[in-house]
Amino acid sequence: MAKDIDPDSMHCNCPVTTTLEILGGRWKPIILYCLQDGPVRFNALKRMIPGITQRMLTLSLRELESDGLILRHVREVVPPHVDYAMSPLGESLKPVLHAMSEWGAYYRTQTAPPQATSDAA
């Protein structure tokens, strides 16, 4: 998803793809979701997202920061204290995240028949 698209071979200017490029990947949306209620520390984030590895958390955080969606705040103390928070641009993404969340939930109700209707394919 971090794939760089050459302007020369930019077949489609679809802004949806732009959005996908930014919050694509397995962990970005979850991280953003966790940050919605305020700043969170690195290890707290790791604890909130059980399956994530430190590597992926670090990489995702860096990309999110690089894309201007989150802010990284380092406090020079021992032990180190670093927390992450949404930037204004990140805040602007909230409605989108909300819409995607709503649809994802709706989708599940439409495709997850408890046990009846074997059209599970």
Partner DNA sequence: CCGCATCCTTACTGATACTG
Partner DNA sequence: CAGTATCAGTAAGGATGCGG
Site for a second copy, rule CB under 8 A? 3, 7-20, 22-24, 26, 29-30, 33, 49-52, 66-68, 89, 92-93, 95-97, 99-108, 110-111, 118, 120-121
Minimum distance from residue 95 beta carbon to a second copy (Å): 6
Please identify which residue in the block is written with the tokens 């032990």. Answer: 79
* Residue 70 bridge partners (DSSP): 86
Minimum distance from residue 77 beta carbon to a second copy (Å): 27
Output 25 or 90, the one with its CB closest to DNA: 25
Q: Is residue 26 helix, strand or coil?
A: coil
Minimum distance from residue 114 beta carbon to DNA (Å): 27
Output 22 or 84, the one with its CB closest to a second copy: 22
d(CA 111, CA 57): 31
Minimum distance from residue 94 beta carbon to a second copy (Å): 10
Count H helices and E strands in the chain, helices first. 5, 3
Output 44 or 99, the one with its CB closest to DNA: 44
Contact 45, 84 (CB under 8 A): yes
Question: Where do the H-state alpha helices sit in 2-87?
Answer: 15-23, 28-35, 42-48, 54-66
